[in-house]
Amino acid sequence: QKEVEQNSGPLSVPEGAIASLNCTYSDRGSQSFFWYRQYSGKSPELIMFIYSNGDKEDGRFTAQLNKASQYVSLLIRDSQPSDSATYLCAVKGGNKLTFGTGTQLKVEL
Amino acid sequence: ETGVTQTPRHLVMGMTNKKSLKCEQHLGHNAMYWYKQSAKKPLELMFVYSLEERVENNSVPSRFSPECPNSSHLFLHLHTLQPEDSALYLCASSQDPDRGRGNTIYFGEGSWLTVV
């Protein structure tokens, strides 16, 4: 079983819709959860992090964490073509940060 | 501008060459990292330095040799690489490698390496 699992996509959504990106993880002791965005040919950039169960909102982005079910998700409201990128989920347990392979998001006009 | 600068951005080298990747962080962080990113694979952590001391080496072949002369600079020396080592090499930094739940990692723009 992969430590951090994401659907590789591509996930296609129309402009203005809500994009929902999901991530599951295997280590129940994981403490911190991060979402990075990576444009093609560029390095990952941090979008959000979340520590506690529930929702955390930042502008058009909402991170959701459910430790009992071991999943973390990222919702992007009012999706824009500029949101088209690969979204990497990263999970930290102890001093180890583990990345998923990423989900490619395509926002279509 | 992420505060983490990598050079060169692109490098093509032969299998017998010796080259180095350079990273500099301007964020005042204590920890620096080298990651490898290959197509369709998760980011692979290669090395971690905390206050210039190597604290993690994830079974990386000896043809990759890191150097951290101070907390702001990190090098990756490359020699006798193989074509399968072609990848994006990302440098990153954070405030502290293993204290606190935060430890947000900030990446440089990466160095695209092609081994021919």
- Do the chains contact at B104 and A4, CB–CB below 8 Å? no
Identify the closest residue of chain A to B99 by CA–CA distance.
A95
The residue among B4, B8, B1 whose CA lies nearest residue B92 is B4
The pLDDT of residue B79 is 94
Best probe of the B interface among A5, A72, A97, by most B CBs < 10 A, is A97
**How much is the mean pLDDT over chain A?**
93
Whether the bond into A10 is cis, omega within 30 of 0: yes
Bridge partners for A82 per DSSP: none
Q: What is the mean pLDDT of residues B32-39?
A: 92
pLDDT band at B113; cut points 50, 70, 90: very high
pLDDT band at A14; cut points 50, 70, 90: very high
The pLDDT of residue A69 is 95
pLDDT band at A31; cut points 50, 70, 90: confident
Check pLDDT > 60 for residue B100. no
Chain B positions touching A98 (Cβ under 8 A) are: 42
Check pLDDT > 80 for residue B1. no
Contacts of the segment A51-57: beta carbons below 8 A, 24+ positions apart: A51/B101
C-alpha B46/C-alpha A42 separation (Å) is 19
pLDDT tens readout for residues B51-93: 777 777 778 999 999 999 998 999 999 999 999 999 999 999 9
Check pLDDT > 80 for residue A15. yes
pLDDT tens readout for residues A42-51: 899 999 999 9
The pLDDT of residue A71 is 95
The pLDDT of residue B56 is 72
- Do the chains contact at A100 and B42, CB–CB below 8 Å? yes
pLDDT tens readout for residues A51-88: 999 999 999 999 999 999 999 999 999 999 999 999 99
C-alpha B33/C-alpha B15 separation (Å) is 24
C-alpha A54/C-alpha A8 separation (Å) is 24
